[in-house]
Amino acid sequence: MRRRRRKKLPTEPIALDIEKLSHEGRGIAHHEGKVVFVEGALVGEKVEAVLTSRRDSYDEARVQTVLSSSPARVEPPCQFYSMCGGCSLQHLEAQAQITFKQNMLFEKLTHAVGHAEYEKVAPMTGPVLGYRRKARLAVRYVHKKEQVLVGFREKHSTFITHMDHCEVLDERIAGLLPELPGLIGGLTTFRAIPQIEVAAGDPELEGVTFALIFRHLEPLPERDVQSLLDFAREKSFALYLQPGGMETVHKVFPMEGIDRLYYRLPEFDLTLGFHPTDFTQVNAQINRQMISKTMELLDLQPEDSVLDLFCGLGNFTLPVARHCKQVIGIEGSETMVERGSENARANGLTNTSFYAADLAQPLTSAEWIKQDYNKVILDPPRSGATEILPEIVKLAPERIVYISCNPATLARDAAFLEEHGYSMFCAGAMDMFPQTAHVESMAMFKKVSG
């Protein structure tokens, strides 16, 4: 059977008028009866673009020349932006970025719930550069260049961007980028290190405040381990090695102390510890704002009993515990349940408990689901909270605060809650990931009386 040959793409640029932005932040235009998604284009612009792919129902293109630019267009702050896949909106002014995200959120929510009778909360914003405290850096030895590259993947490619700085990474981590290729290139096992995981806590706290986890596909000889140790001592970071799966991650420097980094929530007099592989929010300033807004929306009272679902290490649970009778945190990971309990003890909190449960499975036998709760926090993964929502409705809490990393699943779940006795009172976006099209948001639902 003959395989159909893919037609060659035309090399001549095409003139396009950009009508709006897609949810991924690409310009949308029409050409010869088809939709064209244009990377690097903004609303209202006239551009010349080169086609990068063709589908039956749409084409994809990349801006070659901006003929007429949007007032919101800016010079990208990063010299590697045109190539690096870590960011997608650096060419759009920061305020316009969050306006785009906010409008996209409201469009989805209004369509889902069938009305716009909810308060549109002002977006949460913070630093647009140097904010990212967690990341995974790819590592590869490129034979043709006879060089080790460390960085993010290129746009739409498995290649690694040749970069010596990153504008969005925390400076403690970004500052190491010029030296990491030489460090790894000097190891005898330089071909066996495919990635470095990075994590950082608050820089003002005492001790080591950030960590690097080196994944390696073959055992490291003592000489290589010593080179990494010397670099970790010089740069004052915690060094971890990962010879296999996540369960093999282990600290090799400093050996004293427990495997923890820390971040503060000063408004609630809390310090939370986390392992570098734990999930934590990448943007510390937005996280603090998000917690404060959640507390405001919950309107906590001394006699409240709160259920915190998908609670992680207690990011919401512990601040809530400062202001109510009791709060129960539920998380799928036993490790994170242990971390939450550890953080509660460390902060002297006795009115909170953590339980492990798969929130995608029936929960009728769980003891904690049989208790009474008058307020609920939801912070689910991108897939949303479909499976647990019927159980929440049965609990009949007065208020539900839903934190979301996916507007599409938030909108879907909002429609469910509206159909089952709740009204969406307010919603708003959070700029947790500036320079990208990623949208974090929150909404609050009140039980409708009667």
pLDDT at 7: 72
Tens digits of per-residue pLDDT, 86-122? 999 999 999 999 999 999 999 999 999 998 999 999 9
Calpha distance 311→377 (Å, rounded): 8
Fold type of domain 134-259: OB fold (Dihydrolipoamide Acetyltransferase, E2P) (2.40.50)
Band of pLDDT at residue 4, cut at 50, 70 and 90: low
Mean pLDDT, the chain, as a whole number? 95
Q: How far apart are CA 5 and CA 440, in angstroms?
A: 42
Say if domain 14-68 classifies as CATH 3.30.70.2740: no
Q: Spell out the domain ranges in the chain.
A: 14-68, 98-127+283-447, 134-259
- Give strand pairing partners of 265: 270
- Tell me the mean pLDDT in the region 168-176: 97
Tokens representing 288? 């603090």
Tokens of 343: 């953080």
Smallest CA-to-CA distance from 262 within 280, 246, 250 is with: 280
Q: Fold identical between 14-68 and 134-259?
A: yes
For residues 108 and 104, what is the distance between their CA atoms, to the nearest angstrom? 6
Both tokens assigned to 211: 């960590």
Domain 98-127+283-447 has CATH 3.30.460.80: no
Looking at residue 125, its pLDDT comes to: 97
Reply yes or no on whether the pLDDT at 308 is more than 60: yes
Please give the pLDDT value at position 6: 63
Q: Judge whether residue 1 has pLDDT over 70.
A: no
Active-site entry in 87, 166, 311, 405: 405
How far is Cα 348 from Cα 337, in angstroms, rounded to an integer? 17
50: amino acid identity, one letter: V
Residue 449 has pLDDT above 80, yes or no: no
pTM for this prediction: 0.94
pLDDT value at position 450? 58
Q: 345 pLDDT band (50/70/90 cuts)?
A: very high
Which pLDDT value is given to residue 413?
A: 98
Q: Residues of the chain with pLDDT > 90: what percent?
A: 92
405 is known as an active-site residue: yes
Does 41 have pLDDT greater than 70? yes
Stretch 148-155: mean pLDDT, rounded? 95
Q: What is the CA angle 197-442-71, rounded to 5? A: 80
What pLDDT is recorded for position 365? 78
Per residue in 208-247, pLDDT tens?
999 999 999 999 999 999 999 999 999 999 999 999 999 9
pLDDT at 30: 96
**Model confidence pLDDT, tens digit, residues 239-249:** 999 999 999 99
Q: How far apart are CA 286 and CA 403, in angstroms?
A: 13
Question: What is the Cα–Cα distance from 324 to 306, expressed in whole angstroms?
Answer: 8
What is the percent of the chain with per-residue pLDDT over 70, rounded to a whole number? 98
pLDDT category at 145 given cuts 50, 70, 90 is confident
The SS3 call for residue 89 is coil
Model confidence pLDDT, tens digit, residues 405-447: 999 999 999 999 999 999 999 999 999 999 999 999 999 999 9
pLDDT digits over 174-195, tens only? 999 999 999 999 999 999 999 9
Q: What is the pLDDT of residue 3?
A: 53
Q: What is the mean pLDDT of residues 17-21?
A: 97
User: What's the confidence (pLDDT) of residue 361?
Assistant: 86
Concatenated DSSP letters of 313-366: TTTTHHHHHTTSSEEEEEES-HHHHHHHHHHHHHTT--SEEEEE--TTS--TT-
